[in-house]
Amino acid sequence: MGGEYRIKGDKYPRMRRPRGRRRIVLAAAASLAVAGLLGWGSLQLIDVFTGDDKASAAGGTKDCVTKKAEADPARRGERKPLPKPGQITVNVFNATPRSGLAKDAADELKKRGFAIGKVGNATKAYDKKVRGTGILLGARAATDTALPVLGTQIAGAEKQTDTRKGGEVDLILGSRFKDLAKKEDADRALAALANPAPASSKAPSTDGKNC
């Protein structure tokens, strides 16, 4: 080209793209990113409101927690029914050198409604070997039934189980035994045992780790 438009030297003008096109591309990319985020958020909300149904249908976390609650009697609020004193037969044995303790204790327990079985001295396995107030001895099935009920009548007695099959329980009086609990104290303890205060419990975990 000649004249005033003639190119001089070894530098040439560079052709640049219009800036308007770049702005359009950036705006389109931003719009796509926002749309993707909105779509992901919508899916998360759907999972929140429908996740319980899916977990239940697939045997997931909720189903696991529900099964645990159903299998645990404490969570269902169920307890083994406590027997009444008249349904408990108590054998009273004296393991101390003092005479007459077994008979006196048996007579008082009878006044309080307990059925009385054998009364006498303790066997060699326990004679003069019980240093506390006494031992409550019964079958394993009596651990949370007959033994706690009898335990309301004597403070500090130790609960033990053996391999017996019958429902009778033994009260073995120890060297520290002086007398049974006062009747009013025993009645309060028995009422509290029959109607325990509800224990606070933590909400079951729903993270699925304990399934």
Q: What is the pLDDT of residues 114-167, one digit of tens each?
A: 999 999 999 999 999 999 999 999 999 999 999 999 999 999 999 999 999 989
d(CA 135, CA 45): 61
Token output for 187: 């009645």
pLDDT at 66 over 70: no
Q: What is the pTM of this model?
A: 0.59
Residue that wins the pLDDT comparison between 23 and 19: 23
Give the count of beta carbons closer than 10 Å to the beta carbon of residue 130: 22
Token output for 11: 């530098």
Please tell me the predicted confidence (pLDDT) of residue 64: 55
d(CA 205, CA 211): 10
- The residue ranges of every structural domain in the chain are 21-76, 85-194
Burial of 61 (0-12, 13-18, 19+ CB in 10 A): buried
User: Rounded to whole angstroms, what are the CA distances from 107 to 95, 111, 113, 123?
Assistant: 17, 6, 10, 21
d(CA 143, CA 20): 86
Give the count of beta carbons closer than 10 Å to the beta carbon of residue 92: 26
Which residues have CB under 8 Å from 76's CB, separation 6+? 69, 70
d(CA 95, CA 133): 10
Residue that wins the pLDDT comparison between 11 and 60: 11
Give the count of beta carbons closer than 10 Å to the beta carbon of residue 148: 18
Q: What class has domain 85-194? A: alpha beta
